[in-house]
Structure 1
């Protein structure tokens, strides 16, 4: 029997350029923290090995310090780590892996597989058929040699590769680094551990993607997991348990406001977020001035709680009601004309979207200025 953890796509060194520097720093640090969590789990679960199916590093050019920190994060588990280069950290003649070797920071229990071949784990009678990427993009199936690869009798046959199972994954990513969907069957594999897709996915009973250990995109494809895999005897079905290890939860909300209760609902959802959440929020639709102001306050309060927030309110039209106008002292006179003009810009289907967004912002700014005045001083 062999029990191992299957993980992949750590992308150590990811820059997170879409975020503010302090936000990006926390997100980058979480990738190290979650590697340490995987090491702790490996030790606690007493697994036989940890298989890392490619893209350990996001770039070949990460600093020496990043390389040292990554290998230092593995220390809690003293068993075998089997690491495979992927498309981001391919086993080039000169690569992040050769630099790590020169730095002498790879512990003896960490095996970096730089050439296609078979790695034997004799203590658990298992043979790992490894297909590292030796260039960033390939158009041949690097796992093809698995079919003819010889392994000792009675050993588990476990494949380890990085690429795209043809015809399975979305968004047209099947064009490079292809892997045949029948590979587990044709190569008599008990399990095929894959990396490249950033969510954990069951392709079939024996072929799995582990996904990235720490979410890095606003995409709902179940990232943030590792897989705890048990093979009891050669040929038997694997037992696969997804285990959540990621620190941050990324959310993408596209909200449309039509009635005041929509604002109340969104405010409640924002209030439920905490420091482990990363949010991209886009709001469209229409709201009364008071509701729009309340939503802006809720967004800024959420910004102070969550780890990172990207927000776009440019699609929300702010249309003052009679009550709003009365509160601002804008029922008549010059101020009423300004408000009417700004409202008209938003309601005119011929208006440039940028002008619509600026009109909404101007109304909110005008409201804030008016509310800061004593009620008796508000212009009518």
Structure 2
């Protein structure tokens, strides 16, 4: 009974440039660590092969050191690793893969499937039909050749492809690297290992996206997994087990604030976060001075605890109450300006320039220890 570990979209070498200098290296390093974790899983579960369905590397320009570290991370599994190029690491005439071959660092058990041709693993009971991308974007279905591919009787037919299954994924992402949703039927495949969609998603009983094994986006798409696929015999329905592999959990928290209890909800959400969380917090609406102080304190607590916290609050307005303004220490000209802006704000409403100026002045007059 052949057993496979299906994974994809490692994107080794990604730099995470939108993160701060403290978090980015940890996120990049996690992508090497998860490959080591996959190798351990493959060894522990005694799989016959690891299927890697494209975007192994993040770019054609990754360093030689990154290439060496990739293959070093795979050393924990001595069985076959079957890799196809995706859109990030396409098999160009000169590519990251030809560079790896020239460097002589590709181990004998790592099979770079750079051409659409059958590769036999007769001893393990299967044949592989890859659809490698030879350019970043293709507008034809590169898996179509599988329909006419001949394989010895009695061997499983295992396909690998990287792209968008037509009519299945979100609208607007079917334009490049298309894959027919009927490919398993027309090509008589026992399993089609898919890459490109970064979340785990079953298309039907013989076709699925494993997703990236280490989450890398703020999408609620079940990332951070690999699939263990067992197939008893040609034509048998695969048995698929989802295995959690990721170290970090990416979370997007969105809160619209209007009343004091809304601040309570933000505090509770932030205080529930842990060291493995990568968080994007988006705040909108309005708060008074007390609410802002509570938010600032909660964000500071969470920021010290999680791997990364990005806070976006440009859509959150500070709207001080009369009590807030009365407690501010403002004498002389500043006191007069505060009273004038207060009056103009009351006349012009919360969206007036005076209201914005009042909020800025109130924030500036807050005691230093209470500011953001």
Does the pair score TM above 0.5?
Answer: yes
C-alpha contact 2:215 2:249 (8 A) present in aligned 1: yes
Q: Which residue of 2 aligns with 1:177?
A: 177
What stretches of structure 2 of length at least 5 have no aligned partner?
A: none
Of 285-294 and 324-333, the range deviating more from structure 2: 324-333
Displacement after TM superposition at 1:317 (Å): 1.9
Confirm or deny that 1:276 pairs with 2:286.
no
Alpha-carbon distance, 1:364 to partner: 2.7
Which residue matches 1:18?
A: 18
Contact 1:156–1:233 (8 Å) recurs in 2: yes
Q: Which moved more, 1:23-32 or 1:298-307?
A: 298-307
Root mean square deviation of aligned Cα: 2.3
- Cα 1:350–1:371 change in 2 (3 A) is closer
What is the rounded CA distance, in whole Å, between the counterparts of 1:30 and 1:367 in structure 2? Answer: 41
* 2:348 is the counterpart of 1:349: no
Report the alpha carbon displacement of residue 221 of structure 1 after superposing the two structures with TM.
Answer: 0.9
Give ranges in structure 1 of 5+ residues lacking alignment: 373-380
SS for the counterpart of 1:251 is: strand
Structure 2-normalised TM-score?
A: 0.93
What is residue 155 of structure 1 aligned with on the other side? 155
Counterpart-to-counterpart distance in 2, 1:340 and 1:181: 66
How far apart are the structure 2 equivalents of 1:224 and 1:295? 30
Q: How does 1:163-312 map to 2 (within 5 A)?
A: 163-312=163-312
Q: CA deviation digits over 1:208-241, x for unaligned, max 9?
A: 0011111111111111111111111111111111
Q: Can you list the C-alpha shifts for 1:164-192, whole angstroms capped at 9, x where unaligned?
A: 11111114111011110100111111111
Q: Secondary structure at the match of 2:140?
A: coil
State the partner residue of 2:99.
99
Does the C-alpha gap of structure 1 residues 310 and 234 become closer, same or farther in structure 2, counting only changes over 3 Å? Answer: same
> d(CA) in 2 for partners of 1:126 and 1:94?
30
Cα distance 1:297–1:139, how it changes in 2: closer, same or farther (>3 A)? same
- The number of aligned residues is 369
TM-score by length of 1: 0.91
Contact 1:330 1:339 in 2 (8 A): no
Q: What secondary structure does 1:264 align onto?
A: helix
SS at match of 2:35: helix
Write out per-residue CA displacement over residues 314-348 of structure 1, whole angstroms, 9 at most, x where no aligned residue: 22222223443344346998437427727939944
Aligned 8 A contact 1:191 1:206 in 2: yes
